[in-house]
Chains A and B, each alone.
Chain A
C-alpha cells in the first residue's frame, strides 16, 4: 500500500528539513509569521543547496522503508529551492499521490 501524503510523506519531509536547518520548521509551518511551501530553503531556512545534497544517503535510506519507492539523486535534492519542492520530491519518490493544490 503506497504511503499517505498527508500522514506520511509531508510530515516526514518537514522533519528532514527541521533536522538539517537551524530553524524550527515543523513548529512554525503553516503559521503566520512562519513557513509555508513557498519558503526558500537557502534564504529562509539557511540550508545551502550543496550541504543539503550531501544528506541524500540519509534521505534515500529513509525512502527505502516505503515499498516500491525510488532513490532520489543528489541533483534532485540540490535543485529544491523551496520547502514545497522538497515535499514534492520526497513524496513522488516514496510513491505517494500528491493531492491537487498541495504542497501548500
Chain B
C-alpha cells in the first residue's frame, strides 16, 4: 500500500504543470496570463459561494461551471445507527448503546446492550398511498444483550425486520395558512418479525411483535432542562407471539401469545436543578396462551433512574457531553427475552457531539 501511494505521488509530479517555463516566453500580457491560468487554475468563485449563488449569478449568460458536491456517506449508510434497543424509546430519542467492563477478584466481566439499526428516512411506497402518507417505512436491526456476570448471566441475540409508521392520528382542523394540524392523539406502530437466540438457555425462536406508542399533546408539558418542572409520559402497549423452535432436550417447544403494557415517565425537576432527569418505568407482560407443557408467564419489570448532566444543558454545540446516572432495574424484561434480575448501575456516559 505504501508503495502504491508513493507511485501515485511520483505520477502527479511528472504529469504536473511545466512550472511556468513556457509561459514566461509569451510576449502578450493577456496570452501569458491565460497560459498561467491554464497551468495554475484558480478556485472557482462559484465553488466557494455554493451552487445556489452560482446558479443565481447570470454573469455573461454562460451556464455556471459544474460544482463538485462535497463527499458524504451514501444515503443507504446514512440510515444506520447504533442504539440500545432494550431501552424504551419514550419521549426521548433511543438511548445510546451501552458497553461496560469490570474486573473483580481477577475475573473479567462485561455487559453489552447494543443494536445496529437501519431505518431509511424516505418512504419506499408510492407517494399517494396510505403507507407513504403516514410515513411507513422498513426497519431492520441486529441486537446483542449480554451480561457475563455469573449470577446474572444472559446473552440474547436478535435479528429483526419490520415496518414502522403512524397507525392513526386524530388532529384538529388546519388553521388558515398553516401547514400542520395540532395533534390531539395518535399511535405510532412497529410490526416486526425477529429471530431470537438465547445463548445461555440454548433456545432459538421466532418472535412476532406489534408494538405501539401512544402520543398526545396532553402527555407532556414544559421544556426539559429548564428552570421549571417539565414532564413527559409515554404509554406503550402491544402483542407478542413467540414460537420456540429449538430448546434444550426435555423442554417443551411451541407458541406463546402475550400482551404487554408499559408506562414511562421522564421528569425534569428544573426548580431543583436544570441538569437533572428522573426516569421511571413500569412494564407488565402477561401470556394469554401457551402451548402444552409451557408454563404461562406473567412478570412486572420496573426501572428507576436519576441522570445528572456534567455540562451546561443549553450548550448544544459542546463537543463532549458527559453525564452520570444511577439506575435500578428489577424483574424480568420478557419483552426483550431477558431473565428476572435486580441490577443497580452507576454509569458515566459520554456523548460525542
Does chain A bind chain B? yes
Interface residue ranges, A against B (CB under 8 Å): 4-6, 12, 15-16, 19-20, 38-40, 42-46, 48-51, 53-62, 64, 69-79, 81-82, 89, 92-93, 97, 99-102
The answer to whether B188 and A48 have CB atoms under 8 Å apart is: no
Q: Give the nearest-CB partner of B353 in chain A.
A: A38
The answer to whether B180 and A59 have CB atoms under 8 Å apart is: yes
CB within 8 Å of A: which B124-153 residues: 125, 127-128, 132-137, 139
Contact of A60 with B132 at beta-carbon distance under 8 Å, contacts A42-B92, A48-B215 already known: yes
Q: Flag whether B298 is at the interface (Cβ < 8 A).
A: no
Q: Which residues of B contact A73 (CB under 8 A)?
A: 119-123, 135-137, 164-165
The answer to whether B180 and A75 have CB atoms under 8 Å apart is: no
Q: Which residues of A contact B134 (CB under 8 A)?
A: 56-57, 60, 74
Q: Give the nearest-CB partner of A20 in chain B.
A: B180
Q: Flag whether B166 is at the interface (Cβ < 8 A).
A: yes
Contact of A97 with B52 at beta-carbon distance under 8 Å, contacts A57-B134, A74-B137 already known: yes
State A61–B314 Cα separation when bound (angstroms): 33
Q: Which residues of A contact B224 (CB under 8 A)?
A: 42-43, 46
Q: Flag whether B57 is at the interface (Cβ < 8 A).
A: no
State A55–B132 Cα separation when bound (angstroms): 13
State A6–B316 Cα separation when bound (angstroms): 24
The answer to whether A54 and B316 have CB atoms under 8 Å apart is: no
Could you tell me how many residues of chain B have their Cβ less than 8 Å away from some Cβ of chain A?
54
**25 A-B residue pairings within 8 Å (CB atoms):** A6-B52, A12-B179, A40-B316, A43-B224, A43-B313, A50-B215, A51-B215, A56-B166, A57-B134, A59-B180, A60-B123, A60-B132, A71-B122, A73-B120, A74-B134, A76-B135, A77-B135, A78-B188, A79-B121, A82-B316, A97-B52, A99-B50, A99-B51, A99-B53, A100-B51
Q: Which residues of B contact A39 (CB under 8 A)?
A: 316
Of A51, A82, A101, the contact of B217 (CB 8 Å cutoff): A51
Q: Which residues of B contact A99 (CB under 8 A)?
A: 50-53
Main secondary structure on B side of the interface with A: loop
State A89–B119 Cα separation when bound (angstroms): 13
Q: Give the nearest-CB partner of B216 in chain A.
A: A51
Q: Closest Cβ of chain A: how far from B256's Cβ, in Å? A: 29
Q: Closest Cβ of chain A: how far from B89's Cβ, in Å? A: 7
CB within 8 Å of A: which B285-321 residues: 313-314, 316-317
Contact of A15 with B135 at beta-carbon distance under 8 Å, contacts A5-B52, A82-B316 already known: no
Q: Closest Cβ of chain A: how far from B225's Cβ, in Å? A: 6
Q: Closest Cβ of chain B: how far from A49's Cβ, in Å? A: 6
Q: Flag whether B340 is at the interface (Cβ < 8 A).
A: no
Contact of A57 with B166 at beta-carbon distance under 8 Å, contacts A46-B223, A100-B70 already known: yes
Contact of A58 with B179 at beta-carbon distance under 8 Å, contacts A38-B316, A48-B215, A51-B215 already known: yes
The answer to whether A71 and B121 have CB atoms under 8 Å apart is: no
State A86–B123 Cα separation when bound (angstroms): 16
Q: Flag whether B220 is at the interface (Cβ < 8 A).
A: yes
| Binary interface encoding of chain B residues 79-113 relative to chain A, with 1 for a CB under 8 A from any of its CBs, else 0 | 00100000001011100000000000000000000
Q: Flag whether B38 is at the interface (Cβ < 8 A).
A: no
The answer to whether B316 and A72 have CB atoms under 8 Å apart is: no
The answer to whether A50 and B122 have CB atoms under 8 Å apart is: no
The answer to whether B180 and A55 have CB atoms under 8 Å apart is: yes
Q: Flag whether B322 is at the interface (Cβ < 8 A).
A: no
